[in-house]
């Protein structure tokens, strides 16, 4: 089951139509309140138990993760009625080889949002797409997209526990897996 959960996560990262492609990831707000948002699952590395998303370095969640790196991911595949709740610890990479590699793997269409002139979440006087005028209606060229690199961050999260829940009319099934300090996983059934 654990291996199958990881292979579902891997598929979720590569298949845009998979239910796991746009999960919710929650961090702990600077005021201590939960802070959850939808993200795109960009990459899954089962060997190192990592789940990745990309974000704008100027956004509030980056400061939240610097203060407390614990996150909780929620994935739901409606077709298979399968929920995974994944506890993990985040590391934000704005520079260095890992961030450079993630940037290199990003298409110009994905890079466009990093060309936003203002920080995400900044108050504005009127509704605004927060994009340069010239790029409102089109994808940047690779050359144009490069200016967004400075705002780009890879958030690599290392999984510590997975709560697996399958809904079924004949009875729901739930299991919990934890990764010990030695890197080994243990698991048990639990009541749904």
- CB distance 105 to 98 below 8 Å: no
69 binds ligand FMN (CB under 6 A): no
User: CB 113 → ligand FMN: shortest distance, Å?
Assistant: 8
Which residue in the set 30, 37, 101, 117 belongs to the binding site for ligand FMN (CB under 6 A)? Answer: 37
DSSP per position, 71-112? EEEEEEETTTTEEEEEEEEEEEESSSHHHHHHHHTS-HHHHG
Residue 9 — φ and ψ, nearest 5°? -65, -40
Which residue in the set 4, 7, 38, 186 belongs to the binding site for ligand FMN (CB under 6 A)? Answer: 38
26 binds ligand FMN (CB under 6 A): no
Which residue in the set 52, 61, 93, 111 belongs to the binding site for ligand FMN (CB under 6 A)? Answer: 61
Q: Which of residues 76-135 bind ligand FMN (CB under 6 A)?
A: 120-121
9/179 with CB nearer ligand FMN: 9
Instruction: In whole angstroms, give the CA distance from residue 89 to residue 27.
Output: 10
Instruction: In whole angstroms, give the CA distance from residue 97 to residue 11.
Output: 24
Contact residues toward ligand FMN (CB under 6 A) are 22, 35, 37-40, 53-55, 59-61, 120-121
């Amino acid at each position: 089951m654990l291996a199958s959960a990881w292979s579902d996560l891997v598929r979720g990262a590569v298949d845009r139509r998979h239910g796991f492609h746009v999960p919710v990831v929650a961090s702990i707000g600077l005021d201590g309140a939960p802070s959850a948002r939808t993200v795109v699952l960009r990459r899954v590395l089962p060997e190192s138990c990592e789940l990745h998303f990309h974000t704008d370095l100027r956004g509030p969640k980056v400061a939240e993760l610097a203060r407390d790196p614990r996150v909780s991911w929620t994935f739901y595949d409606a077709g298979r009625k399968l929920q995974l709740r994944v506890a993990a610890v985040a590391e934000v990479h704005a520079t260095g080889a890992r961030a450079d590699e993630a940037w290199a793997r990003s298409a110009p269409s994905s890079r466009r949002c990093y060309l936003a002139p203002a920080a995400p979440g900044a108050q504005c006087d009127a509704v605004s797409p927060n994009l340069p005028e010239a790029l409102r209606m089109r994808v940047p060229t690779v050359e144009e997209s490069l200016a967004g690199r400075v705002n780009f961050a890879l958030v690599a999260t290392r999984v510590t526990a997975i709560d697996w829940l399958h809904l079924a009319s004949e009875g729901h099934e739930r299991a919990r897996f934890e990764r010990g300090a030695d890197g080994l996983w243990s698991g048990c059934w639990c009541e749904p």
